[in-house]
Amino acid sequence: MTELLARAVDVGATAFGVARLALAVAGLLFALYVVVLGTLVLAAHRRRR
């Protein structure tokens, strides 16, 4: 029983880590989106000038 509880706690801790990692990936993708959008808008602006 104690072992089962310990395993459950491990699963919980891992899931918590995964949650943090997934949020980080979301942040990375968003940062990528902002950088790409900003770069392309800037390129469009410069090209028109």
Nearest distance from C-beta of residue 47 to another protein, angstroms: 6
Nearest distance from C-beta of residue 10 to another protein, angstroms: 8
What stretches of the chain adopt beta strand conformation (E)? none
Rounded CA-CA distance 47/35 in Å is 18
Rounded CA-CA distance 9/32 in Å is 35
Nearer to another protein, 2 or 9 (CB): 9
Q: Which two tokens stand for residue 10?
A: 């491990």
- Interface with another protein (CB under 8 A): 8-9, 11-13, 15-16, 18-33, 36-37, 40-41, 43-45, 47-48
